[in-house]
Amino acid sequence: MNIMVKIVLVEKNGNLKETNVRKVSVDELYKKCGFKAPDNFKERTSWKVKIDGEENIIKCFAKDEGRANMENKYDLPPPIDTSLFFGVIALVKMEKEEITDLSLEQWNKIYEKLFGGFEDLAATAEEDEKEVDELESVPKEMKTKNGYLKDGFVVDSDEDDEEDEDDEESWGDEGSELDYEEYEYSDDE
């Protein structure tokens, strides 16, 4: 009897791939990742996450030793977010020590929850467009020619030019620190 289950494979370039595999044991999972031997391929962490009222236990299997340029580019959630893994990573859902279906859609929901949620930039862009410009009510003479508030930190570029000229004039009268000075030396001292 060939019972198939879905697992998520994380390719070394960071792409996710949902794949159907024959009922496989954890001990043989390394083969599904394309490794010839189980050397250093083991469970790296386990996440327990409740999604839509269902308890999910996801386990991550990977190698933490490998050749240069074989590093996996995928950003895994904490606590292994700073760990370096090599080659393909396997993500599986466990129920009573058995691998069960984990779809790519399920993993994406779990991933988002593990990272604390993500902001929808398209939705916030719409809100940003509707925001009122707080500098609209500020008189023109209190803003730079580029529309920034003159607050002592931001100054108009014309004012910058005048300040630079003032600085040059004051140096011209007193001389520069870099001016050449002549010294007389004597053997009498």
- Shared domain check, 153 and 61: no
Residue that is written with structure tokens 């790519």 in the block: 104
Residue 148 and residue 109 share a domain = no
Report if residue 79 sits inside a domain.
Answer: yes
Confirm whether 128 is domain-assigned. no
Q: What is the pLDDT along the chain (189 residues), one digit of tens a residue?
A: 468 999 999 999 999 999 999 878 899 999 999 999 999 999 999 999 998 888 999 999 999 999 999 999 999 999 999 999 999 999 999 998 899 999 999 999 999 999 886 666 777 777 777 787 777 777 888 878 887 877 767 666 655 555 555 555 555 555 556 666 676 666 665
- Burial status of residue 144 (CB atoms within 10 A of its CB: 0-12, 13-18, 19 or more): middle
189 found inside a domain: no
Q: What is the pLDDT of residue 178?
A: 67
**Is residue 153 domain-shared with residue 102, that is, in the same domain?**
no
- The verdict on residue 134 lying in a domain is no
Residues 8 and 55 in one domain: yes
Of 81, 79, 103, 82, whose CA–CA distance to 16 is shortest? 103
With respect to residue 129, please indicate whether it lies within any of the assigned structural domains: no
The pLDDT assigned to 189 comes to 54
Same domain, residue pair 97 and 148: no
- 105 and 66 in a common domain: yes
Residues of the domain holding 157: 140-168
Q: Which two tokens stand for residue 51?
A: 């999604």
Instruction: Tell whether 12 and 84 lie within a shared domain.
Output: yes
pLDDT score at 125: 73
Query: Which token pair is 38?
Result: 């189980």
Where in 52-187 does DSSP place strands (E)? 54-63, 86-95, 98-100
**pLDDT value of position 131:** 80
- Based on the fold, state whether residues 44 and 102 are members of the same structural domain: yes
Residue 126 within any structural domain of the chain: no
Tell me whether residue 29 is in a domain. Answer: yes
Domain match, 8 and 84 both: yes
Does residue 71 sit in the same domain as residue 147? no
Is 127 a member of any domain? no
Residue 102 and residue 50 share a domain: yes
How many domains are contained in the chain? 2
**pTM for the complete prediction?**
0.63
Position 57 scores a pLDDT of 96
